[in-house]
Structure 1
Amino acid sequence: MSVSSIDAAHPRFLSKPILITGGLKVALVQLAVGPDKGKNIAAAVKEIHKAKERGAQLVALPECFNSPYGTKYFNEYAEQVPTGETFRALSKAAADASVCVVGGTVPERCGNQLFNTCTVWNSNGDLIAQHRKMHLFDIDIPGKITFKESEVLSAGNKVTTFDYCGVTIGIGICYDLRFYEMATVMARKGCSLLIYPGAFNMTTGPRHWELMGRARANDLQLWVALVSPARDTTAEYVAWGHTMLVDPWGKVVASLEDKPDTLVECVDLNTVAEVRSQIPIRSQRRTDIYDTVDKTNECSN
């Protein structure tokens, strides 16, 4: 089947039964992150179990939750998937709590390369997805912030989606949020929810964090979860915080401020069906004139 025919005929795109049967209770954990890797991991595991007690079926952690965010830290804190300390802890926590864990991101070592990587673990503790940040954060805003991840990190090259409890979920990492085409490909793979662990800063966060989360949700008619670390004003890189969940109408249904906290909400999949039926942009797209294609033909790393 050609990509241009997906809107009209692809079963994952229009007729997933889960869209009319209910929802998924998710927890978005805004962790305080410091230089002690062991403490960071222990805090994440504790919050996974607390989220389970609140009824969460899926728990998502923020970007770089086991280390400070900065190019000089990535090599020191990097681990191999799945044998590293952090990954083993995530697997065990997922199995012990019987939840799906979207493991924020961790600096990953693979041979002589480093990646900014999100791993996903099912309720048995099995690794079911691995996303390497595709778009590296190389920016220069004079007088505000200059950052160049590509000095240390390599870029991932695959779009990542996975299925859990009958829901297809897409993963992006921080700067990936800015690239609409990547989100479009995930939506066309059948996603009803996109999760972005991210650490927007004090310059871009106030301007673009909520704006882009709402834009992706509205344009693609799906749920968007943005998961940030808590703000630490003493850190070299200060995160914006404001973890949030946005519905397919583009409405922020729940959000946090900048302190450590956890947001627990139900992703109502009936809303996805409602929006897509009432505003049927999928069948109205002019694929005879324009299109967005996935050149990898793969769903995960």
Structure 2
Amino acid sequence: MNKFKIALLQTRVYENKNKNIENALSFIEEVSKKGADIVVLPEMFCCPYNTSYFKDYGEEENGLAYKALSQAAQNNEIYLVAGTMPEIDGDKVYNTSYVFNRKGIQIEKHRKMHLFDIDVEGGQSFKESDVLSSGSNITVFDTEFCKIGLLICYDIRFPELSRILVQNGAEVIIVPGAFNMTTGPAHWETLFKCRALDNQAYTVGVAPARDYDSGYTSYGNSIIVSPWGNITNKMDENQGYIIEEIDLDIVKKVRSELPLLKHIRKDVYKIELI
């Protein structure tokens, strides 16, 4: 199959974890009825984006949110990229995205590799490493449509990682993220367009809705960019969703007409995993 429909759920994040889960389940059911094949939730969809919340809202794999989303994928017969949630593993906390297939079976998970530790003068200051540990796995998963690469938010700023996903077969790169009101207006669109152009792949960014009353204000603007670098669809700051058709023939067309991936000088330089 060369086409599929992807749904981006830009949900609001409340302080009540159960309310966040119920909100996500409602949207999942709605977009599934409208033909979505793959559904994507935002980064920290069930937890306010503040380091002080991560341990309290966190759960071990197969916890409350995990089970609810696994069941939702099965009930609605969709692939579900379950945004991210704090994952407790022993004495460590990870920012983790689980992927479920149409039967509700976990087929992959990605732990955020690059932790968001920044201090922008006159702007945002945040230090994920105060609580979170970093993951170390390159994440590509199979569907009946194509291979899909998975990153989390800050990971997209590291071009080597996206290139490795594509070298491992990815034609689409999905990124649950939560850029803020400093980095979002400055870099969100540019990064998704750059990674799409660099790798001649679709890039998909899914963020929480904007809430000025929260301690961390998401930029929103969930986005889909084509392999040619065109924004094919984008949201504003409000809660809601978009459903977009992904045409994999466009990936093949762009890679054939402008074969930059074939022109990489592997005799001169290459990216290697350590």
User: Is TM (by shorter chain) over 0.5?
Assistant: yes
RMSD, matched Cα: 0.7
Give the distance between the partners of 1:64 and 1:272, measured in 2 at CA.
30
Matched, 1:58 2:38: yes
Matched, 1:212 2:191: yes
Q: Which residue of 2 aligns with 1:75?
A: 55
Structure 1, unaligned runs of 5 or more: 1-20, 296-301
Query: TM-score of the superposition, structure 1-length normalised?
Result: 0.90
Q: Which residue of 2 aligns with 1:264?
A: 243
1:258-299 CA deviation, whole Å, 9 max, x = no partner?
A: 00010100110000000000001122111111111233xxxx
Equivalent residues in 2 for 1:227-246 (5 A)? 227-246=206-225
SS of 2:60 mapped into structure 1: coil
Q: Runs of at least 4 residues of structure 1 off by over 3 A? A: none
Q: Using the TM superposition, name which of 282-291 and 95-104 deviates more.
A: 282-291
SS of 1:245 mapped into structure 2: strand
Which gives a bigger RCO, structure 1 or 2 (Cα 8 Å, sep 6+)? 1
Per the TM alignment, residue 166 of structure 1 is displaced from its structure 2 partner at its CA by: 3.4
Give the distance between the partners of 1:282 and 1:265, measured in 2 at CA.
26
Tell me which of 272, 283, 291 is aligned to 2:262: 283
Give the distance between the partners of 1:289 and 1:177, measured in 2 at CA.
25
Q: Which residue of 2 aligns with 1:191?
A: 170
Give the distance between the partners of 1:138 and 1:163, measured in 2 at CA.
32
Tell me which of 77, 80, 94 is aligned to 1:101: 80
Q: Which residue of 2 aligns with 1:30?
A: 10
Q: Which residue of 1 aligns with 2:66?
A: 87
Give the distance between the partners of 1:166 and 1:261, measured in 2 at CA.
25
Equivalent residues in 2 for 1:124-273 (5 A)? 124-273=103-252
Give the distance between the partners of 1:103 and 1:264, measured in 2 at CA.
16
Contact residue 2 and residue 145 of structure 2 kept, 8 A? no
Equivalent pairs counted in the alignment come to 274
Contact residue 4 and residue 145 of structure 2 kept, 8 A? no
1:58-116 CA deviation, whole Å, 9 max, x = no partner?
A: 000000000100100000000011x2100000000000000000000000000100000
Give the distance between the partners of 1:183 and 1:244, measured in 2 at CA.
17
Q: Which residue of 1 aligns with 2:25?
A: 45
1:25-46 CA deviation, whole Å, 9 max, x = no partner?
A: 1001000111000000001011
